[in-house]
Amino acid sequence: MIDRKGALGALIALLVISSAGVSAQTQPYKIGLTWPLTGPLANSGTEYIVGAQLAVARLNASGGVNGHQLVLDVEDSMGTPPGGVTAMRKLVEVDGCQAILTEYTNVVGAQVPLADQLKVPILANVQAPGLMSHSPYTFAHAETVSATANLIGAYWKNHNFKRIYAFLPNNALGPIMSGAFKAAAAAAGVQYDEAMFNPGDSDYRGVVARAKDFNPDGVLDGSPGGLDGTVIIRQVREAGITVPIFLPGTFINEPGWKEGVGSYIEGIVMAELSIDPVAGKAFLDAFRAKSGGKDPSYLTGEVWDETMMMAAAIAKSSYNGDAIAKQLAVLKGVPSVFGGTITMDPDHYSVPATDHLSQYRSGKLVPVK
């Protein structure tokens, strides 16, 4: 959870120990990233990884962690479970990484037993409730799917929706989303149906036709990022389905996403986290300078937070996987770009506190009740 106080400067003070007298040969501390650099999720992966790069640059500019510079060691997970396992083994067993940042539920689910085996912690913005709660080496920093589904379900109830059709990814995240949104729809008194789609495909007209036959008054596009969701949105509209579209996240700042959706973006309702303009100023300034003035995705902000969380755990322990995991389990007081400070809850989830719904209207996101 996030305590509504603290500042980034407090974290910098915590992490930086004067390097006076430290040998120039001091070895850097590696933070390993298993990241989708190729495959259907690479588009979003290359956006989010910038959060880690900017956080490491800021920390290193202030002296690093305990006199050691930080280095990001990146391996391509390809966005698949086997790719994630292979990438993590390489980072730990060959490169010696003692801390891993990773993403996407299907990848993380396969890495959980490996984290136990290697005794090296993984930290991810994974939204699957409970996935990270059963190991001393697995941690999350994200709003859960259940919380997001309940938020959207409350909107359906308050706006008298009757029939919702959902498109969900055919991977490990799909069944989790299915259970969460079925429960949210039932609580809202909404008739619900769904279809699974294969990430990476380019033609979803078959499942779109099923949605049209259902005659919904609302559509949920459950793509977790990337360009799959843009294809679904376009093909839904091209099929003549004109009802409101809901997204469980906000991806408008991902490369190519707005272009992929085009004019169909108007009116889409999205769940999002808001980066605080004061608490997140260092992150926002650095991202805009790197991107030519563009704004980051909130998911990129979560990755910045996760990098700072991992650095804080290393600073309070040593560069050893078991010791780092113990500090992550009791982590608190780390400033967040979403405002306040981060505390790791006993279930190994630290949840940003600003999740809300917004609607895209006339070129900008407008918060909705």
- What count of other Cβ atoms lies within 10 Å of the Cβ of residue 240? 8
Q: Report residue 290 CA to chain centroid gap.
A: 20
Task: Give residue 17's pLDDT band: very low, low, confident or very high (50, 70, 90).
Answer: very low
Question: What CATH number labels 2-143+276-350?
Answer: 3.40.50.2300
Continuous segment of H or E residues that includes residue 138 = strand 138-141
Average pLDDT, stretch 50-70? 96
Give per-residue pLDDT as tens, 221-236.
998 877 889 999 999 9
38 Cβ contact partners less than 8 Å away, ≥ 6 residues apart: 76, 78
Model confidence at 88, pLDDT cuts 50, 70, 90, reads very high
Distances (CA, A) of 279 to 7, 342, 350: 7, 12, 17
| More confident: 5 or 243 | 243
**In the predicted structure, residue 270 carries a pLDDT above the cut 90:** yes
Mean pLDDT within 175-199? 95
Maximum mean pLDDT: which of 261-270, 271-280, 293-302:
261-270
| 12 — pLDDT class (breaks 50, 70, 90) | very low
> For residue 8, is pLDDT > 60?
no
Angle at 199 between CA 195 and CA 203, to 5 degrees: 75
pLDDT tens, 95-152?
999 999 999 989 999 999 999 999 999 999 988 889 999 999 999 998 888 889 999 9
Kindly list the distances between the CA atom of residue 26 and the CA atoms of 53, 73, 324, in Å, as whole numbers in the listed order.
Answer: 21, 17, 19
Topology of 145-272 in CATH? Answer: Rossmann fold (3.40.50)
Percent of the chain with pLDDT over 90: 75
CA distance 142 to 130: 12
pTM of the model: 0.79
Q: Do domains 2-143+276-350 and 145-272 have the same CATH topology?
A: yes
Residue 353 above 80 pLDDT? no
Domain segments of the chain as ranges: 2-143+276-350, 145-272
pLDDT at 264 over 60: yes
Q: Report whether 321 contacts 137 (CB < 8 A).
A: yes
DSSP 332: -
Q: State residue 20's pLDDT score.
A: 35
Q: Return mean pLDDT, the chain.
A: 90
- pLDDT of res. 46: 83
pLDDT the model gives residue 9: 43
